[in-house]
Amino acid sequence: MGAPTRTTCPYCGVGCGVSALPDGKGGAAIIGDKAHPANKGKLCSKGSALGETLSLDDRLLRPQVCGQDSGWDEALQLVADKFRTTAAEYGPDAVAFYVSGQLLTEDYYVANKLMKGYIGSGNIDTNSRLCMASSVAGHRRAFGTDTVPGLYDDIELADTVVLVGSNLAWCHPVLYQRLAAAKSARPEMRVVTVDPRRTATSDLSDLHLALRPGSDVALFNALLTRIVDEDALDHAFLGAHVEGFVAALAAARADDPEATGLSAEEIDAFCRLWMRREKVVTIYSQGVNQSSQGSDKVNAILNCHLATGRIGKPGMGPFSVTGQPNAMGGREVGGLANMLACHLDIENATHRTAVHEFWDSPVIADKPGLKAVDMFKAVGEGRIKALWIIHTNPAVSMPDADAVRDAIASCDFVVVSDVTGRTDTARLAHVLLPATAWGEKDGTVTNSERCISRQRAFLPAPGEARADWDILAEVARRMGHVAAFDYANPAEIFREYAALSGVAGKFGRDFDISALADCSDADYDALEPFHWPRSGTRSGGRFFGDGRFFTSDGRGRMLAVSTQAPVARPSADWPLVLNTGRLRDQWHTMTRSAKSPRLNAHMAEPYLEIHPVDAALAGLSPASLARVESPVGAAILRVLVSDKVQQGQVFAPMHWTGETASAGRIDALVPAVTDPVSGQPESKAATCRVTAFAAGAYGFALSLEEPVPDAPYWAKARARGGWRCELAWETAPQDWTEAARALFGLSPDAEPLVVADPARGLHRLAFLQDGRLAAALFVARDPVAVSRQHLIGLLGAEDALGVLAGQPGADRPDPGATICACFDVGVNTIRAAISAQNLTSVEAIGQALRAGTNCGSCKPELKALLEAAAPRLAAE
């Protein structure tokens, strides 16, 4: 064991510092880095579980061409030849890269340089189009640059924090914890959440506004109107530094606050909390961005901050929180099809010439390329004939995902760079290239507050895996661009990038880190987290508080924006609005987070959150299965009846894939509707209908080896020591022993222990191998009621004879679904302790059970359990 390596978490845009100590067996102990400004030592459940995701199972370890292992030489030559000949024959716009906000800046820089400067097309877009594009567009319209004004410290300094379309507790958990701690230190602080559904985040808020989906513009227009009517304007700031006030106000006045569906009292309370306290931070995320009017939503928020001068000053400002660890870095480096690099504009001839000259490249893209949705349409129509997908899984995460999957499948030549071959997208590749993963690679990322941090390797590259920048550079060299892509290491790329940012700085662009253009390899290795800019003249800090913007005249812009209804409206055929989003313990398409059994124990299945009235109307009982259909696709999901969603709305997580469930890819249902300005898809407002999935039999299975289910409904996940799987059949199989053998891949002579009551449709089968429990299947006509965590604990055990009881004996209580992932504390354990020990606070639960005392991600859920128990305690 050596010294710990300081690196950065590869998940969300909070960008927490991590300290990793390799265990010498391929794993590592992970703790928070106390010296990192983003987290000061804290980590959330996902960050804390990083050590469990490092194993090599599932990893892609060598290149594959058409499903066969191949050498790098053959694979890279094929990629280079295909991209070169396709661009030569059909023009540069016949090829495309689709990349990711999880790429490191150095990887991104090389991909962008190759496409825009050497292939000569703008056709490089990124999954940040699905994520941050509306914020980028809103920032650029208002500020003349895509820049987040403030710092995380502002959240702690604010008197009012408004969270719009952000489930911070689950999606930016360490930031949420900073907010929660600030609120408990200063109880006068007020938190408002604006979200059609109640979430773990809204549990913290003093005011929750369950507005109608898509109606945020009307809410902020109502606020702007009130700001003017009560003269809460900052006249000096407005007069000296802002254009567009009159038109913006006229549009705001013409808008109808009733579009929000909120009462006049609610809007009034919101306006008062916003206007009467000077220090206001408005945090926003995908409930704003992922909308057919996402850019207008962003500008409606920015308008209020500009009108009151509450921007770029301590404790004040609009704050778009980025999703991916390097979403911000990708925006800086020009990863979007309509940007160049270092905040330079592709449509500005002077900027183009400068970049062209800096790269000394043969060509330079002279127009924006296709944005993600249009890019995959062009792939489907055969206009793009060679596509390279890097570090993203569009067959799952793009809207109209079945059409995207079919488009990729129909493309002449598809290259996928990934760390695993087991993704819905990788399965469609002609060439599959093994990339090094987090912990094995080196580079930089930028978080939500413009802080650039190093990701550092602490494990060797496994098999033949290579870094993304290295793969890209080698393809570029094989395409003939030897000198321009002759990089020895990421430090060299970083220096070139920093030097280019100096060119941008000379044009007056804000993204300038040219002070690092001469850093040595050793300096780069030792680089401490820092906030950009870092030029000769400026270092870190906030933007725009001084009234200096990056528009042509240096003034900020208020925009005239008016509410428009979401494009898909409920109708008799499609009566429900489908909202989608994230869970606390999974990361996107689950290729990494689902390697951790404890993260899977939080929510092990794809589900549909539905209001009790809608559930009753559709004949859905709790824990049954629903068939969810939209005009473009369908899914089968577990029913979670809850009044956290409003009537007429349903919510489903985005995480499940063709690898983890039979019919859980939620983007199959989301039509490809986009914001006209940003091109960002409306991922939160599809329409759908819900019917009962008529299950003749439900099953729950567990096994040491991965099961291979063949049923209309299944969802599988790694569990401690093995696997768990939920199943359902419309018609029950004739022979359960045979069905179980097929599911578990067992030979025909494997004989189960069986308990059955065929008249009631009950069947329980357990397979022992060498006296140990190897697999078990529980079948019932209703959703299977067994103690799942208890049964999983018996996998591989010798004393497993009691397994067929399905429940623990009185001496071994069932912990229930995991709430605290760090200490593995289940919901039943917590409920029992609350009631037996009369616990009344989250801290008391922590003292009794340790739950919530490490990462703290489960604190909102602990609070909810306390609240649920409170009336009972009071009655006792």
Ligand X SMILES: Nc1nc2c(c(=O)[nH]1)N[C@H]1C(S)=C(S)[C@@H](COP(=O)(O)OP(=O)(O)OC[C@H]3O[C@@H](n4cnc5c(=O)[nH]c(N)nc54)[C@H](O)[C@@H]3O)O[C@H]1N2
What is the contact surface with ligand SF4 in residues (CB under 6 A)? Answer: 9, 11-12, 14-16, 39, 43-44, 46-47, 172-174
CB of 780 to ligand X, least distance (A): 32
15 binds, among ligand X, ligand SF4, Mo ion, none (CB under 5 to 8 A by kind): ligand SF4
* Structural tokens at position 102: 């999880």
Q: What is the largest distance, in Å, between two alpha-carbon atoms of the chain?
A: 85
Length of the chain: 876
Distance, CA of 404 to CA of 396 (rounded, Å):
9
Q: Which is nearer to ligand SF4, 172 or 478 (CB)?
A: 172
Q: Which is nearer to ligand SF4, 45 or 737 (CB)?
A: 45
Quote helix, strand, coil % in the chain, to nearest 5: 35, 20, 45
Distance, CA of 90 to CA of 392 (rounded, Å):
26
* Nearest Cα to Cα of residue 488 among 461, 521, 465: 521
609 interacts with ligand X by CB under 6 A: no
The H or E element that residue 183 is part of is: helix 173-185
CB of 809 to ligand X, least distance (A): 36
224 interacts with ligand X by CB under 6 A: no
Contacting residue, 8, 393, 501, 854, with ligand X by CB under 6 A = 393
Q: Which residue is nearest to Mo ion (CB)?
A: 323
Long-range contacts of 844-849 (CB under 8 A, 24+ apart): 849/820, 849/823, 849/825
Distance, CA of 414 to CA of 426 (rounded, Å):
9
Contacting residue, 315, 581, 707, 816, with ligand X by CB under 6 A = 581
Q: Please choose, out of 160-168, 303-311, 354-362, 689-697, the segment that lies near ligand X by the rule CB under 6 A.
A: 160-168
Contacting residue, 37, 122, 323, 733, with Mo ion by CB under 5 A = 323
How many of the chain's residues bind Mo ion (CB under 5 A)? 2
Here's the x/- map for ligand X, 420-459, by CB under 6 A: it reads as x--x-----------x-x----------------------
* CA 146, 149, 151, 156 torsion-angle sign: negative
169 binds, among ligand X, ligand SF4, Mo ion, none (CB under 5 to 8 A by kind): none
CB of 153 to ligand SF4, least distance (A): 16
Q: Please choose, out of 3-11, 321-329, 350-358, 639-647, the segment that lies near Mo ion by the rule CB under 5 A.
A: 321-329
286 interacts with ligand X by CB under 6 A: yes
684 interacts with ligand X by CB under 6 A: yes
Q: Which residue is nearest to ligand SF4 (CB)?
A: 47
CB of 710 to Mo ion, least distance (A): 33
CB of 757 to ligand X, least distance (A): 41
167 interacts with ligand X by CB under 6 A: yes
336 interacts with Mo ion by CB under 5 A: no
Torsion of CA 470, 473, 478, 479, to 10 degrees: 150
Beta bridge partners of 753: 766
Q: Which is nearer to ligand X, 324 or 678 (CB)?
A: 324
* 3 state SS of 700: strand
How many of the chain's residues bind ligand X (CB under 6 A)? 58
167 binds, among ligand SF4, Mo ion, ligand X, none (CB under 5 to 8 A by kind): ligand X
CB 370 within 8 A of CB 378: yes
Distance, CA of 27 to CA of 118 (rounded, Å):
40
389 interacts with ligand X by CB under 6 A: no
Distance, CA of 761 to CA of 740 (rounded, Å):
15
176 interacts with ligand X by CB under 6 A: no
CB 532 within 8 A of CB 446: yes
Q: Please choose, out of 20-28, 111-119, 581-589, 841-849, the segment that lies near ligand X by the rule CB under 6 A.
A: 581-589
Q: Which is nearer to Mo ion, 27 or 323 (CB)?
A: 323
CB of 11 to ligand SF4, least distance (A): 3
Distance, CA of 161 to CA of 301 (rounded, Å):
13
125 interacts with ligand X by CB under 6 A: no
Q: Which is nearer to ligand SF4, 172 or 430 (CB)?
A: 172
Distance, CA of 229 to CA of 361 (rounded, Å):
55
Q: Which is nearer to ligand SF4, 43 or 620 (CB)?
A: 43
196 binds, among ligand SF4, Mo ion, ligand X, none (CB under 5 to 8 A by kind): ligand X
CB atoms within 10 A of CB 23: 12
Distance, CA of 705 to CA of 78 (rounded, Å):
36
854 binds, among ligand SF4, Mo ion, ligand X, none (CB under 5 to 8 A by kind): none
197 interacts with ligand X by CB under 6 A: yes
131 interacts with Mo ion by CB under 5 A: yes
Q: Which is nearer to ligand SF4, 168 or 635 (CB)?
A: 168
Torsion of CA 374, 375, 376, 382, to 10 degrees: 110
138 binds, among ligand SF4, Mo ion, ligand X, none (CB under 5 to 8 A by kind): none
Distance, CA of 394 to CA of 372 (rounded, Å):
9
* Structural tokens at position 32: 């928070």
Place of tokens 């960008």: 15
Q: Please choose, out of 285-293, 500-508, 697-705, 821-829, the segment that lies near ligand X by the rule CB under 6 A.
A: 285-293
Distance, CA of 515 to CA of 505 (rounded, Å):
11
Q: Which is nearer to ligand SF4, 172 or 790 (CB)?
A: 172
From the number of C-beta atoms within 10 Å of its C-beta (0-12, 13-18, 19+), residue 455 rates as: buried
CB 191 within 8 A of CB 209: no
Q: Which is nearer to ligand X, 198 or 351 (CB)?
A: 198
Pairing of strands 649-653, 686-692: unpaired
Q: Which is nearer to Mo ion, 330 or 597 (CB)?
A: 330
Q: Please choose, out of 124-132, 621-629, 755-763, 777-785, the segment that lies near ligand X by the rule CB under 6 A.
A: 124-132
* Structural tokens at position 694: 């008529």
Q: Which is nearer to ligand X, 5 or 393 (CB)?
A: 393
Q: Which is nearer to ligand SF4, 173 or 722 (CB)?
A: 173
CB of 101 to Mo ion, least distance (A): 7
Here's the x/- map for ligand X, 561-580, by CB under 6 A: it reads as ------------------xx
CB of 170 to ligand X, least distance (A): 5
H helices of 91-215, in order, are: 105-113, 133-143, 152-157, 168-171, 173-185
Distance, CA of 657 to CA of 130 (rounded, Å):
17
Contacting residue, 136, 419, 728, 803, with ligand X by CB under 6 A = 419
CB of 736 to Mo ion, least distance (A): 43
Distance, CA of 216 to CA of 271 (rounded, Å):
14
Q: At what angle do helices 133-143 and 294-307 cross, to 10 degrees?
A: 40
CB 508 within 8 A of CB 550: yes
CB 47 within 8 A of CB 55: no
* Structural tokens at position 702: 């567990």
117 binds, among ligand X, ligand SF4, Mo ion, none (CB under 5 to 8 A by kind): none
Going across the sheet that includes 207-209, the strands are 207-209, 190-194, 160-164, 280-284, 317-320
Distance, CA of 15 to CA of 8 (rounded, Å):
6
Q: At what angle do helices 490-506 and 105-113 cross, to 10 degrees?
A: 70
CB of 131 to Mo ion, least distance (A): 3
476 binds, among ligand X, ligand SF4, Mo ion, none (CB under 5 to 8 A by kind): none
Q: Which residues bind ligand X (CB under 6 A)?
A: 12, 46, 100, 102, 127, 130-131, 164-167, 170-171, 194-197, 199, 213-214, 216, 285-287, 290, 323-324, 390-394, 396-397, 417-420, 423, 435, 437, 468, 579-582, 584, 586-589, 591, 654, 666-667, 670, 683-684
Q: Which residues bind Mo ion (CB under 5 A)?
A: 131, 323
